[in-house]
Structures are given as structure tokens and as C-alpha cells.
Structure 1
Amino acid sequence: MSTKADRACMLCGIIQSMKSFRTKGCPNCESLLHFSGDSSQVAECTSPSYEGLVALGQDSKGSWVARWLRIDGFVPGLYAVKVNGRLPLDIVDTLEGLDIHYRPRDGTAED
């Protein structure tokens, strides 16, 4: 069940409440995006606009859906199929500096 307070991480696609991102951070991306305690970072790097839901369970390694969405190996939870919006350019530059290639989850990235 989603509410207006639910948001999707623009990097991994996990769906959580705004409060959860602020208090606990992103379970997949916290070391990169540093959401915990930073409301402005949560607002910039998550989106309230997303499409589709996929439930990722404990055993995601063999899931073709998880591989297709690039979420295999992430923590179990609800993930958006498509996240509307993109990370700010300064964050993309930081990720590239860490040798992490950002692929937007808005449907524009091609494999």
C-alpha cells in the first residue's frame, strides 16, 4: 500500500516513506547518498513519482525480474519498476568519481 509519503530512491528504486529515508537512510545506497538525517538530500535523491511495484524476497539471486531491474543483490523490499526523476548532476559526478556508473531508473537508460 502506498501513500503520498512513499518515495522511491532514484539510485536503487527501493520504496520507503520519507520518514524512513530520513531516519534509517536507504538500505542499499546509504553509504553513497547519505540520506539519514538530511531531509534535503532525501528530497533531491528520491521521487514521490514512480510506476509499478516489485516485491523482492530473500532469494533474489535467481530472479530474472531482479536481474532485469538491476536489483539482484539488494535487500528485500518493495521496488519501483520505473522512478520518475534523475539524481542531481553533482551527485552523478560524485558517483562517477567513485567509478559508479549511474543509470537513471526513469526508462531512458539503454542496455
Structure 2
Amino acid sequence: MDNAAQVPTGFGHELRACLRCRLVKTYDQFRETGCENCPFFNMDKDHERVVDCTTPNFNGIISCMDPTKSWAARWLRIYEI
């Protein structure tokens, strides 16, 4: 777990989700560090990509500290992330 994603620093309308992996962070966090799960999007190098590769429209959020031990991660099939 060396490459852990950042925890969102804001909530509500500030949050965006990556279109590929569904990681949720604020616009500013995507702009500063990109998406840890999808580095090929290069959001941290091209700020217009943040808008192109993320969406403010998503339902719900799950937070998981250790996906290998979480029943919710197994249920959602995200235990191998």
C-alpha cells in the first residue's frame, strides 16, 4: 500500500470521480496529483484532462483502508486494487 490515494479534502459539489477507476477526490487534488490508479490520463500535467477524465455525477462513496480484509471490497470486487 505504498501508493495510497489521497483522502478528499472537501465534500459536496467539490468532489469528482475518475471515469475509469471511480476514485473520488476534489478537482484541485486531481489537478495537483492526477489519479493514482490511472496515471496514463496525465491529469497532473494537463489540467483540461481533469474535466475530460472525471465527472461530478456519481452516487455514493466507499472508503476502504485494507481492501484485502474488507468484506465490502470483496462484495464490490475492488479487493485487488
Q: Under TM normalisation by the shorter chain, which class is it?
A: 0.7 to 0.9
Note the C-alpha offset of 1:69.
3.2
Gaps of 5+ in 1: 75-111
Note the C-alpha offset of 1:3.
2.4
Alpha-carbon separation, structure 2, partners of 1:68 and 1:10: 21
The verdict on how the C-alpha distance between 1:39 and 1:70 changes in structure 2, with shifts beyond 3 A counting, is farther
Q: Indicate the SS of the match to 1:27.
A: coil
More strand by share: 1
Q: Which residue in 2 is equivalent to 1:44?
A: 52
Q: Which residue in 2 is equivalent to 1:71?
A: 78
Q: CA RMSD in A?
A: 1.7
- Percent identical among aligned pairs is 35
Number of aligned residues: 72
Q: Which residue in 1 is equivalent to 2:29?
A: 20
Alpha-carbon separation, structure 2, partners of 1:38 and 1:67: 34
Q: Indicate the SS of the match to 2:50.
A: helix
1:62 aligns with 2:69: yes
Note the C-alpha offset of 1:70.
4.0
1:34 aligns with 2:38: no
Alpha-carbon separation, structure 2, partners of 1:34 and 1:48: 19
Q: Indicate the SS of the match to 2:17.
A: strand
2:47 alignment partner AA = S
Note the C-alpha offset of 1:10.
0.9
Gaps of 5+ in 2: 1-9
